[in-house]
Amino acid sequence: MTTSTTTRRVATTDGLELAVTEYAGPQDAPMIVCVHGYPDNQSVWAPVATRLSRRFRVVTYDVRGCGDSDAPADRRGYRIPQLNADLAAVMDAVSPDRSVHLLAHDWGSIQTWAAVSGNIPAARIASYTSISGPDLDQAGVWLRGLATHGLAGARKRLKQLAESYYVFLFQAPGLPEAAWRSGLLEKLLAREVRGVESVPERRERDTINGIELYRANILGRLGRPTPRRVTVPVQVIAPTRDVYVSPAMATEAPVPYVDDLTVVEVDARHWVVLRQPDRIAELVAGFVTAHGGERGGVTGA
């Protein structure tokens, strides 16, 4: 399954350039902008984007430091406000006069939660689908519920903390870089995509640069969480066998803060966008259509 694409470069507010790809789709259709996670680049979206482009305009881009996009000179360039400024620059370039629908996975979701909770005007965003990536402020509050949600609630939170060991490992100077270069972390991740027909290439540049996302953002936001209300319609897709983001945190943490929340659990692992592109395309198409999409679901996906 293939579709034609066009590429361009979009300037950021701090002088970098991002590599942006638009999939050929109906020009009058709603636009979906996809934001990838770590340690991926925009190619991770190809199976889903190809299916969605039958009915919608679809745009993907390499987050700064990844793929063919430029990398910032230091850690400050990876902070979430700047990532959101990058997203806004892409949106302004590809859809200056119409709102867009956002679709994000993993670190793409983490950064985009901040966008939909006020870093980008809500009028620019028609809907948001988040997969396997929490809002760090919402997660910080949720994790603090160890002592207030009974034994079952405590178990869920302790399980998530155990599964997030790598988040704290990534704070150690030099250690994660050495683990990537030795091939150890790549072997661990390979288990998560075993059986997938076509796994996008992971470049060492992407994996090393992306570690700065964790160092620039995690501890500050989890340590001093300040969740904000989200008025954009949100769909959370939660893989039930995700070993990095527990279904409990993914589905429970947003509840107090999102005005219009839809939760869908999918029997899948973390990289559901690669394992089940038909299902993801179907869910996204339905949500986009329900929130301003003039066209129907993805037929034949």
The predicted-structure confidence for 34-46, as pLDDT tens digits, reads as follows 999 999 999 999 9
Distance separating alpha carbons of residues 251 and 265, to the nearest angstrom: 9
Strand order from edge to edge, sheet including 100-105: 5-11, 17-23, 57-61, 31-35, 100-105, 125-131, 234-239, 261-266
Nearest to 257 by CA among 170, 125, 136, 77: 136
Does pTM surpass 0.85? yes
pLDDT at 162: 65
Cis before residue 39, ω within 30 degrees of 0?
yes
Q: Where are the domains of the chain?
A: 5-290
Residue 38 has φ and ψ, to the nearest 5°, of: -105, 140
pLDDT at 294: 42
- Helix-helix angle 175-182:204-223, to 10 degrees: 150
Q: Which CATH architecture has domain 5-290?
A: 3-Layer(aba) Sandwich (3.40)
Q: Higher confidence at residue 181 or residue 155?
A: 181
Q: Which whole-number Å values give the CA distances from 277 to 130, 197, 242, 260, 284, in the listed order? A: 15, 12, 16, 25, 10
Query: Which structure tokens are listed for 220?
Result: 């500050």
Residue 112 has φ and ψ, to the nearest 5°, of: -80, -25
Q: Exposed/middle/buried for 121, CB within 10 Å: 0-12, 13-18, 19+?
A: exposed
Average pLDDT over residues 151-159: 70
Average pLDDT over residues 260-271: 96
Residue 227 CB neighbours (<10 A) = 21
pLDDT at 168: 78
Average pLDDT value for the chain: 89
Distance separating alpha carbons of residues 126 and 123, to the nearest angstrom: 7
pLDDT at 106: 96
Q: Which amino acid belongs to residue 46?
A: A
**pLDDT tens by residue, 92-144:** 999 999 999 999 999 999 999 999 999 999 999 999 999 999 999 999 898 88
Q: Which amino acid belongs to residue 262?
A: T
Distance separating alpha carbons of residues 15 and 24, to the nearest angstrom: 28
pLDDT tier, 295 (very low <50, low <70, confident <90, very high otherwise): very low
pLDDT at 12: 98
Collapsed DSSP state (helix, strand, coil) of residue 58? strand
Query: Which structure tokens are listed for 135?
Result: 């809002």
Q: In this structure, are residues 301 and 45 in contact, taking their beta carbons and an 8 Å threshold?
A: no
